[in-house]
Copies of this chain bind each other. A is one copy, B any other.
């Protein structure tokens, strides 16, 4: 378990430093932490058990929430990471929300309106599959809004996340990091397997063609919006069991640091008689 202990100590190595420029292309997306799959799977199982227990305490306490954001290029495994990490936690304590292209009602409000509506209530874990970051990613890459508009959004987002934090919601954000070659492999696999055709959308290739623009947009978003209260983590995502383990370890560490504990009784049990 020495490798696992080392990973737990090194979690900060995956955290994006505020306002420090970096290149995603320079970060290895194929990492296994020196572990083999069995070790990682055992580590993930242990994490799941810890998360399940921490969730019960968070719910009983009812004063804090946790918001977990996932962003990634297509095929990096947002869906499967969420499935692997959160399956096994009582679904009453976890709400997953997937953000798609905004509806006309949503578009008639500011871009954080629909996001705010889905933030977790106190006592719960909220998981976002895509998020308000799309408004500085796809909105920038596809020029859905002028540059002057998306540029000022980093400040909005930091202020919004600071509000959530100040009012009891802890935030952690994961970028699942893959290479363009890896995406090609995964897309080809979807095409080759009729059972996976429903996951394939020819439009995905249009986004793929803009890969470099997306990388630039991700780099800037993470550099500007990885803050003390709402850090971004870059998760090497090509070794799937390592990806899941890393995400789970960060979540365990975060929830433990929140020290959730059931509240004291507000009544005197010795005075109560049940008829």
Contact of A87 among B91, B187, B205 (CB under 8 A): B91
Contact A275 to B208, CB < 8 A, known contacts A89-B91, A91-B87, A197-B269: yes
Which B residue sits closest to A90, measured CB to CB?
B83
In the bound complex, residues from chain B placing their C-beta under 8 Å from that of A274 are 184, 187-188, 191, 205, 208
- Considering the complex, give the chain B residue whose CB is closest to the CB of A204: B274
- Report A206 CB to chain B, min CB distance, Å: 11
Interface readout for A99-141 with B: 1 if CB under 8 Å, 0 if not?
A: 0000000000000000000000000000101000000000000
Interface string of A261-275 (1 = CB under 8 A from B): 011110101001011
Q: How far is the CB of A236 from chain B (nearest CB, A)?
A: 22
1/0 contact string of A221-259 vs chain B (CB within 8 Å): 000000000000000000000000000000000000000
Q: How far is the CA of A188 from the CA of B88 in the complex (A)?
A: 29
A141 to B14, CA, bound (A): 56
Instruction: For A129, list chain B residues within 8 Å (CB).
Output: 92
Alpha-carbon separation in the docked complex, A202 to B79 (Å): 42
A202 to B267, CA, bound (A): 8
Copies assembled: 2
Q: Is A31 an interface residue (CB 8 A)?
A: no
- Given A262-B195, A265-B197, also A202-B272 (CB < 8 A): yes
**A18 in the interface, Cβ–Cβ < 8 Å?**
no
In Å, the complex CA distance between A262 and B193 comes to: 13
Contact between chains at A88 and B88 (CB < 8 Å): yes
User: Does A98 interact with chain B (Cβ within 8 Å)?
Assistant: yes
User: What's the minimum C-beta distance from A216 to chain B, rounded to whole angstroms?
Assistant: 19
Within A181-231, the residues touching B (CB, 8 Å) are 184, 187-188, 191-192, 194-195, 197-198, 200, 202, 205, 208-209
Taking CB atoms, residues of chain B closer than 8 Å to A91 are 82-83, 86-87, 89, 91, 94, 96, 127
Chain B's nearest CB lies how many Å from the CB of A85?
10
Which residues does chain B contribute within 8 Å of A79, judged by CB atoms? 92
Residues of the B chain whose Cβ atoms lie less than 8 Å from the Cβ of A95: 95-96
A-B contact pairs, 17 of them (CB 8 A): A60-B198, A82-B92, A87-B90, A89-B91, A91-B91, A91-B96, A92-B98, A184-B274, A184-B275, A187-B274, A191-B272, A198-B262, A200-B265, A200-B267, A202-B267, A205-B272, A208-B275
